[in-house]
Each structure stands twice: as C-alpha cells, then as structure tokens.
Amino acid sequence: MNPKDDLEDEKPLDPATEKVRRKMVRLLAVSIGVMMVGLMAVLGAIVYKFNDSGRKAAVREAGSAPLPYENLEGRIDLPDRAEIVSASLDADRVLLQIRLPDGASSLLVYSLERNRIIARVAID
C-alpha cells in the first residue's frame, strides 16, 4: 500500500468525535477573534499616546502667551556676599535659591510684574 491509498480510504468520524471537533474549531475561531480585538486595542492605544504626546510637545514648544511687558529691567537687592545657587522662571515670577555668607540657604520669589520680592523662605 502507498500513502495515496490511505488518504482515499479515510473513513468519516463517528458523530461524537465530529461534535467535539466542531466545538474545538469554534473555540479556536473565538480565541483568534478575541486576540485580534485585543491586538487592535493595544495598537490603537499606542497610536493615541503617540499622537497625544506629539500634540503636548507642540504646545510646550509654542510656549505660553507672551508677557504683557517687553524690555523689562529690574534690580534684586541681595544681602552682601550672598551667592545665587539656582534660578528658575515661571510666568512672571523668578525663584532664586541663594546661599548667605553664614552658610544658610534661602529662597526668594521675585515678581517681574510688581518689580519686587514677594516672598522669602529660609531653609534650615
């Protein structure tokens, strides 16, 4: 006998086995469908996050509205021999961290709009 004869002589399955086979095929189809829906949801979330972060970056690059004043000049009077450790800007306020001659640190909040120091915080 050759293998071709075996294929031609294949007998149909009994009804109980055929019923189990159909259930297995249906389960396979449902599982593949669920996996495809999950994969599409993950890809959709990735595309959404990618586009959303791009939009946020464009807003950050554009910056906020310009300040209502131009060519501002001012003066901040610091204690004698005080050193500026760091500075940061937020809208119309400047935060200065300074080191005093005795080694203590302090924070100063300077308002560009009011042209004066609006807060002092000692750091112990």
Where exactly are the structural domains of the chain? Answer: 3-62, 66-124
Of residues 54 and 93, which shows the higher confidence score? 93
User: E-assigned strands of the chain?
Assistant: 83-90, 93-99, 105-111, 116-123
94 in Cβ contact with 114 (< 8 Å) = no
Q: Averaged over 79-95, what is the pLDDT? A: 88
Mean pLDDT estimate for the chain:
82
pLDDT tens for each residue of 14-53? 889 999 999 999 999 999 999 999 999 999 999 988 887 6
Neighbouring residues of 14: CB distance < 8 A, sequence distance ≥ 6: none
